[in-house]
Structure 1
């Protein structure tokens, strides 16, 4: 007897049927020719592919696994065709039916591919939704701190929203971005809702930059959302700083006038400035007129620096600045008086001299000159500054002042009346040694051979303080004299210079 059944005659349809059945990946071609071990190998290969592919991942099945599996199916089909060519079929009545069944069963891997693609798409959607959720959490977390601390988080969240719209425009996550952006804007702009206008400026300025990096369609009306809020914040913050005498208001008003020149907020700038000038002018008559004058000077400079041209406010702001300057110049008188009363005689001299120079027609100019003289006298004789001088002049007592010094001098006096005058240098006079002035017979201005420059003034009864000051040389100390003038006497003041130890 033969060792094995004789092979069946070659049958191409049978080979095709076995090959088609093996392409399903289930090894059914081997099943109909009773090659059970090979069928099991097909099942194992398909199982390995399912383990690698499931659950569905947004990145899909690794390309190497797909290639290897397709190669395996091709080999199984080819080998199945070779085996089926001369092997009799079991389980199925004919090769034609087997071939038709093989074609029908090809729907199994095709359906699997379709289902897997759907699962992978859903996995991708979930991944994108997770990204959206993480961006939302980042916005929420950033909103719990100030803008400076949360800005980096806001920027990362915005980048995530933009990537969803740009890279996956048809995804569910991308379609939800416009609603998320509304929350984003309200979170970033929360300081404005709390009426914390100064803190709202920077976040609102940041929101104005968002349209440059985000899809305009996603933003919609949010594109203009920050504008009016920023204009309001700039105005309110600057107005509060201006009213409180704080710095920074000029930059904010300047930005408002430049960025939103036609806004209602820009139109409120000039009235706010005018009100600040009014307040500063009134404060000149207060407890600290010098500070008020200094504030007016600074205010005038700051107002002139505001860019009011585009908003049509240049002229009115210029008038406010001019009024502040005039008030500062005029207010210097009150400042000088306050300095004099406080005993700050050096500052009073400078202030009053500046006032006299800058206000040639002011009603207080004459008295300011007197106060400047009295303050200079009081620098040498503090007792002279105990009372504020008046504009009174003249008196019944003659006082002659002579100059017995080689220097041109200024004679200043204050008391019941205040004034000053200059005396030319004595041409043939010299300095006296200190030792000579200590002798009992020392008497300056007594040389009949010399012609002493002199001047006679008339003063009232009372104490008058004199100071003689060299006009032609530096490093020389002024001389002083306190004269108690009584009626019935004629007085003489003599100015002379002493020197000792080379001075």
Structure 2
């Protein structure tokens, strides 16, 4: 409302302009302060300060967005400070002119809205705390599913009411995600006894265990791994138990894995030893049986392992003998035994009397030897006698021969023993026990001798061998086979 000044009446004194009437827009500071305390700019809107109201609402919205996205306690303090700033500023704006009468309606509206906002925030903070307690209880029970279910209950209201609290469960969920990765690794590695995979899974569990309050969730994953032992294949179980046995203890709950070894290892050792025996892998079978007897000498499985060791020893010896026999037979058959002597552990020992021998070389003479001196095969002989090319030995007698049938002249012919070099090997050990030359005697100076001429020209060889008999051949070879 405005007034126009009128000229004073004629003849009357001038008294000045009439007094200004108070504006009806003088505001209640308390109502404004209560309205701005809602962080919605309500106090500004009550006094029609639209710009300040919009700025207050926008500022609150920006801080709420930052709080929900960053979830840092600093943004909560920023919101409180922003609200206090609006309360002080609104009070200042409303109190620049004196208030004649309080506006109860505005105060009630402002108070109601502010209380409603505070009640909503308080409820969301309480509910966020309740959900957090559910997550903690699930974590302490080792249930990652429960932790994730609790995290799923958080909504925008909880993030506005207590954003920092909602981040704590995220840490637990992240830990559960890593535990799931470790569990998958352990599950896969356990199925194939992949030691490297198991080590990787335990490394992940150890890193999660280093975080606060994760003992129960890690133990759940560890129990799942241990409860799956033993696996179906005993040899794979043995590989796992060997790794667990060698694992370095860390003085935490993961050391429970080491404690599982005595529970699974005896049966694994016995089963794997039996599996190797069934596959005729006797050396490995014996080694595994021996580990069982050494580590668990008083276990019920140890008696079966001792019997398995005896059988394995027998089979190993038999395999060794078969291999030796096959090697000796091959060398004798190929005529290479003398170049590469080999032993046959079950060959008869040397004894007084006749010791059978396998002969190689000098077939013309060997054929005259008694059959009881000869081993038919390498496994029923005590000796291997290798004979070389025969040559002329010591001279026995020189005789004079006169030519006949037109040949004129006398020739001297010296008769020599037959020298046969021999190497004698003990077949049981493959060692050379005698290297000598057999001297075969025989008849010398026969009544006539024959020789070859070429076109009527020629003469007898001045050195000739004696003519051996079966008896002289046997006599020469007798010292080799008869002790």
Q: Answer whether contact 1:21 1:29 (CA < 8 A) is retained.
A: yes
Counterpart of 1:205 (choices 232, 237, 242) is 242
Deviations 1:360-393 (A, max 9, x none): xx5x53468552xx64xx345587289886369x
| 1:212–1:42 Cα change, 3 Å | farther
Specify the alignment match of 1:44 in structure 2: 58
Q: Answer whether contact 1:30 1:36 (CA < 8 A) is retained.
A: yes
Deviations 1:108-161 (A, max 9, x none): 5444555434654555555555444444444455556x333xx45444444444
| 1:490–1:365 Cα change, 3 Å | closer
Q: Answer whether contact 2:283 2:316 (CA < 8 A) is retained.
A: no
Counterparts of 2:188 and 2:296 in 1: how far apart (Å)? Answer: 32
Specify the alignment match of 1:443 in structure 2: 414
- Aligned-partner SS, 2:420: strand
- Aligned-partner SS, 1:167: coil
Structure 1 residue 467 corresponds to structure 2 residue 449: no
Structure 1 residue 365 corresponds to structure 2 residue 356: no
Q: 1:142-161 alignment to 2 at 5 Å?
A: 142=189, 146-148=192-194, 151-161=195-205
| 1:169–1:92 Cα change, 3 Å | same
What is the aligned-residue RMSD (CA, Å)? Answer: 5.7
Shift of 1:280: 5.4
Counterparts of 2:474 and 2:219 in 1: how far apart (Å)? Answer: 97
Structure 1 residue 28 corresponds to structure 2 residue 69: no
Instruction: Tell me the TM-score normalised to structure 2 length.
Output: 0.53
Specify the alignment match of 1:384 in structure 2: 366
Q: Which 5+ residue runs of structure 2 have no aligned equivalent?
A: 5-19, 127-157, 375-382, 388-393, 396-409, 425-434, 442-466, 477-483
Instruction: Tell me the TM-score normalised to structure 1 length.
Output: 0.51
Counterpart of 1:80 (choices 67, 72, 90) is 90
Counterparts of 2:370 and 2:202 in 1: how far apart (Å)? Answer: 70
Specify the alignment match of 1:301 in structure 2: none
Counterparts of 2:299 and 2:23 in 1: how far apart (Å)? Answer: 99
Deviations 1:334-380 (A, max 9, x none): x979976886653897648x999xx9xx5x53468552xx64xx345
Structure 1 residue 169 corresponds to structure 2 residue 213: yes
Q: Answer whether contact 2:33 2:90 (CA < 8 A) is retained.
A: yes
Specify the alignment match of 2:137 in structure 1: none
Shift of 1:481: 5.7
Shift of 1:163: 4.9
Q: Answer whether contact 2:209 2:218 (CA < 8 A) is retained.
A: yes
Specify the alignment match of 2:267 in structure 1: 232
Larger Rg: 2
Counterparts of 2:263 and 2:42 in 1: how far apart (Å)? Answer: 73
Specify the alignment match of 1:275 in structure 2: 311
Specify the alignment match of 1:433 in structure 2: none
Counterpart of 1:181 (choices 205, 222, 230) is 222
- Aligned-partner SS, 1:51: helix
Counterparts of 1:73 and 1:105 in 2: how far apart (Å)? Answer: 12
Shift of 1:491: 12
| 1:379–1:236 Cα change, 3 Å | farther
- Aligned-partner SS, 2:338: helix
Counterparts of 1:20 and 1:443 in 2: how far apart (Å)? Answer: 150
Q: Answer whether contact 1:208 1:223 (CA < 8 A) is retained.
A: yes
Shift of 1:210: 6.9
Q: Answer whether contact 1:413 1:466 (CA < 8 A) is retained.
A: no
Counterparts of 1:339 and 1:388 in 2: how far apart (Å)? Answer: 24
Q: Answer whether contact 2:368 2:470 (CA < 8 A) is retained.
A: no
- Aligned-partner SS, 1:443: strand
Specify the alignment match of 2:469 in structure 1: 485
Shift of 1:90: 7.9
Specify the alignment match of 1:346 in structure 2: 338
Q: Answer whether contact 1:18 1:77 (CA < 8 A) is retained.
A: yes
Shift of 1:197: 2.5
- Aligned-partner SS, 1:26: coil
